[in-house]
Chains A and B, each alone.
Chain A
Amino acid sequence: MAYSEKVIDHYSNPRNIGTLNKEDKNVGTGLVGAPECGDVMRLQIQVNEENGIIEDAKFKTFGCGSAIASSSLATEWLKGKTVNEAMEIDNMAIVEELALPPVKIHCSVLAEDAIKTAINDYRTKQGLEEIA
């Protein structure tokens, strides 16, 4: 199976690899997937508490090229969005952007889950309720 150019680009030049301090009150962390499934993503957002805008996003992913690309793309999309806007990111948009084949759709689902988990982690820290 050949990878799309965009997947290769994100894989070769991943955006925003790194770690934010998960103890910070304005940092939300989403760790999803499982090693035995061959995919683990950790996605973090750093939110401006004044205006709810995501100022920084970082990821680390254990997985195939599509999983790495999906999380790399997610961090790109997250930056500059408000938390509420970020909640709207849909996995199919990732599929489309990266031209993922059907067997790799789960990678985009995982990325969407990571976003939502990170946001809910942030919301919990802020004393807000989780959004489904």
Chain B
Amino acid sequence: MLSFPIYLDNNATTPMDPRVLEAMLPYFNNKFGNAASRNHAFGWTAEEAVDYAREQVAKLINASPKEIIFTSGATESDNLAIKGVYEMYARKGNHIITVNTEHKAILDSCKHIEKLGGEVTYLSPNEDGLINLADLEAAITPKTILISIMYGNNEIGVLQPIEEISAIARKHDVLFHSDATQAVGKVPVDVMAQNIDLMSFTAHKMYGPKGAGALYVRRKNPRVKVTSQLDGGGHERGMRSGTLNVPGIVGLGKACEICMEEMEEEAARLSKMRDHLETELLKIEESYVNGNRDHRLPHVANISFKHVEGEGLMMGIKDLAVSSGSACTSASLEPSYVLKNLGLDDDLAHSSLRFGLGRFTTDEEVEFAIDHVKTAVHKLREMSPLWEMFKEGIDLKSVVWQEH
């Protein structure tokens, strides 16, 4: 039985796994203690739960539990990584390298650094979303303290060559941070093997609760430190003050444990399902996949349907919850900067939909989605003047448009 709307926006957030909720519940009521209360059983119980979660989280990314700093989520982790490194390593330099397809939490933190007098290089990826390693290496200066490049992109799912990036960072003695929000729990992430120095991630993208995330901060080879951005009780080894969100952290831990056990099978299932969805949707004339198809998260497909506007299309597929790169979804009227920075024309960016499959997506839902999208694209093309002109053989680029 299908129930509507069908949720295919698992890159925005994921539903909680019932097993995660179950693990969290006691920490909302009878196990309510403050993990920092050292002198009674309530505090010990909470501390024990946090310690256990820290182990679960560390295990998933092959870190040591002491290297996990709990935060409120990936945005906070990104802010702490960028601003914290900038402040801590001010004596060494003031230059950061990132990519213009990063999440706003990175880009806006970098803009903040620029206001403080820091220097930031924003690399442009290739058309397929992958960065050019030669560009990265060329951007490094003696003042460079940090390279921040995301693991898997939130809009197109492209996976960056993390090992090659970290090798370059190591070679030049520069720290490497990765926003791995979309990747942790979906693909194998190993901070040791991949030489990642700092890494952000969050529970709600892997079937855990909102409001709980972590920053991995390497303790050995090299020992990395970040300046705290929240002052207070000195929690989390002095890097992040604030009473720990015990139920959230327990949820993050449980979510990591489940991913650890089920990720491989789940990724295989989802990539098969995604490939089927993509193959079917690409049968629609003038449809294109955005981003590299070989180096990609298993559960994401970003497809542009030429001459159909994304928001109009979303309205036509109201039984599906997906995202669009179209401008109209935001007040700015600007289409997705990620797609634009791949070099996509604005009209193709406006015509894109992102499908994010997840743990609870069924084959039946995907079949429904395929039919629903095909019908809607057909209907909208029937009413699209661009489609008619395209069919008449008019080169749309040669038309003089009356822009607003």
Task: Report which A residues bind B (CB closer than 8 A).
Answer: 3, 8, 11, 14, 17, 19, 31-42, 59-65, 67-68, 103, 106, 109-110, 113, 117
**Does B384 interact with chain A (Cβ within 8 Å)?**
yes
Contacts of B402 in A (CB 8 A): 31-34, 113, 117
21 A-B pairs with CB atoms under 8 Å apart are: A3-B315, A11-B315, A34-B401, A34-B402, A35-B347, A36-B345, A37-B346, A38-B311, A38-B333, A38-B335, A39-B404, A40-B384, A40-B386, A59-B383, A61-B384, A62-B312, A62-B385, A67-B312, A68-B312, A103-B333, A106-B404
A34 to B331, CA, bound (A): 18
**Among candidates B315, B383, B388, B404, residue contacting A34 with C-beta atoms closer than 8 Å:** B404
A37 to B345, CA, bound (A): 11
CB-CB nearest in chain A for B348: A35
Q: Are B326 and A60 in contact (CB under 8 A)?
A: no
Q: Are A35 and B401 in contact (CB under 8 A)?
A: yes
Q: Are A35 and B404 in contact (CB under 8 A)?
A: no
Q: Are A68 and B383 in contact (CB under 8 A)?
A: yes
Q: How far is the CB of A107 from chain B (nearest CB, A)?
A: 9
Contacts of B383 in A (CB 8 A): 14, 17, 59-61, 68
Q: Are B333 and A64 in contact (CB under 8 A)?
A: no
Using a CB-CB cutoff of 8 Å, which residues 181-230 of chain B contact chain A? none
CB-CB nearest in chain A for B307: A62
A33-B404, A35-B401, A109-B404 given; A40·B315 CB < 8 A: no
Using a CB-CB cutoff of 8 Å, which residues 293-308 of chain B contact chain A? 307-308
B369-403: CB near A (< 8 Å → 1, else 0) gives 00000000000001111111000000010000111
Q: How far is the CB of A110 from chain B (nearest CB, A)?
A: 7
Q: How far is the CB of A99 from chain B (nearest CB, A)?
A: 15
**Does B350 interact with chain A (Cβ within 8 Å)?**
yes
Q: Are A64 and B401 in contact (CB under 8 A)?
A: no
Q: Are A17 and B315 in contact (CB under 8 A)?
A: no
Q: Are B404 and A60 in contact (CB under 8 A)?
A: no
Q: How far is the CB of A131 from chain B (nearest CB, A)?
A: 17
Q: How far is the CB of A7 from chain B (nearest CB, A)?
A: 9
Q: Are B382 and A17 in contact (CB under 8 A)?
A: yes
Contacts of A41 in B (CB 8 A): 385
**Does B328 interact with chain A (Cβ within 8 Å)?**
yes
Q: Are A110 and B404 in contact (CB under 8 A)?
A: yes
A68 to B313, CA, bound (A): 11
**Among candidates A11, A17, A62, residue contacting B386 with C-beta atoms closer than 8 Å:** A62
Q: Are B328 and A60 in contact (CB under 8 A)?
A: no
CB-CB nearest in chain A for B324: A64
**Does B107 interact with chain A (Cβ within 8 Å)?**
no
**Among candidates A17, A36, A64, A67, residue contacting B347 with C-beta atoms closer than 8 Å:** A36
Q: Are A62 and B311 in contact (CB under 8 A)?
A: no
A3-B315, A34-B404 given; A62·B328 CB < 8 A: no
Q: How far is the CB of B326 from chain A (nearest CB, A)?
A: 6
CB-CB nearest in chain B for A66: B328
A38 to B387, CA, bound (A): 14
**Does B309 interact with chain A (Cβ within 8 Å)?**
yes
A62-B309, A103-B331, A109-B404 given; A38·B326 CB < 8 A: yes
**Among candidates B309, B396, B401, B403, residue contacting A63 with C-beta atoms closer than 8 Å:** B309
Contacts of B315 in A (CB 8 A): 3, 8, 11, 64-65
**Does B327 interact with chain A (Cβ within 8 Å)?**
yes
Q: Are A35 and B333 in contact (CB under 8 A)?
A: no
In order of increasing CB-CB distance, the 6 nearest A-B pairs are A36-B346, A34-B401, A35-B347, A64-B311, A42-B385, A60-B385
Q: How far is the CB of B26 from chain A (nearest CB, A)?
A: 38
Q: Are A39 and B385 in contact (CB under 8 A)?
A: no
CB-CB nearest in chain B for A3: B315
A33 to B396, CA, bound (A): 13
Q: How far is the CB of B396 from chain A (nearest CB, A)?
A: 6
Q: Are A38 and B384 in contact (CB under 8 A)?
A: no
Contacts of B311 in A (CB 8 A): 38, 63-65
A62 to B315, CA, bound (A): 13
A49 to B117, CA, bound (A): 68
Q: How far is the CB of A132 from chain B (nearest CB, A)?
A: 15
A65 to B328, CA, bound (A): 10
Using a CB-CB cutoff of 8 Å, which residues 18-74 of chain B contact chain A? none
**Among candidates B331, B333, B385, B404, residue contacting A31 with C-beta atoms closer than 8 Å:** B385
Q: Which residue, A34, A42, A110, has most C-beta atoms of chain B within 10 A?
A: A34
Q: Are B401 and A19 in contact (CB under 8 A)?
A: no
A56 to B266, CA, bound (A): 56
A35 to B310, CA, bound (A): 12
Contacts of A19 in B (CB 8 A): 388
Q: Which residue, A41, A103, A106, A109, has most C-beta atoms of chain B within 10 A?
A: A103
Q: How far is the CB of A117 from chain B (nearest CB, A)?
A: 8
A33-B401, A110-B404 given; A61·B326 CB < 8 A: no
Q: How far is the CB of B150 from chain A (nearest CB, A)?
A: 26
